[in-house]
Amino acid sequence: MTLQARSRSGVTVASRSGVVTTVAAMTGDRVRPPWWLRAINKVMMAVSRLGLAYGKEGPAVLTVPGRKSGIPRSTPVTPMTVDGTSYVVAGFPGADWVENVRAAGQVTLTRGRSSERLRLVELPPDQARPILRAFPAHVPTGVRVMKQCGLISQGSPDELEAMAGRFVVFRFEPA
């Protein structure tokens, strides 16, 4: 069970294990990314297109048609593999790429010069919890960015697990 309360600085979330954290203030179900993230994302996409990796799991570029325009939209992601299955975590509630994936269902995932068409399946919160719990060990760079953006405070497995239902988790499947 997760309890939430609003405060001036954000949303206070307490998990079953007693971890309490305050996350960034939100407008509806959307968290506004910091101004510097767009530039960082462009660098990450360039690094990924060069085939370079950093951290345990390397970055990739996820491309999905815009839900309104149909124009391909790209964003850097860091897929992670848990028990032989690949997942991606969307750390910003209300992110446009998440809404585009929900509308399209299929994406192109590019690493270096290799691309593949995949289907993304959104996990319900109960299935997302163990994946979010594994996220800090698999994608520490993502946890660091979430902390810098004020989405989480500690970055512990308990804290990430408590964010199930706020952070969207997708499972990759063949298209």
What digits encode the pLDDT tens for the residues 116-164? 999 999 999 999 999 999 999 999 988 988 898 888 999 999 999 999 9
At 53, is the pLDDT very low, low, confident or very high (cuts 50, 70, 90)? Answer: low
Compute the distance between CA of residue 22 and CA of residue 10 in angstroms, rounded to an integer: 6
> Who contacts 102 (Cβ-Cβ below 8 Å, separation ≥6)?
67, 122
Q: Which amino acid is at 174?
A: P
pLDDT for res 4: 43
Domains in the chain with CATH codes: 35-174 (2.30.110.10)
pLDDT for res 18: 47
pLDDT of residue 11 exceeding 60, the answer is no
Mean pLDDT calculated for residue range 64-76: 94
Q: What is the DSSP string of 59-111?
A: -EEEEEE-TTT--EEEEEE--EEETTEEEEEE-STT-HHHHHHHHH-EEEEEE
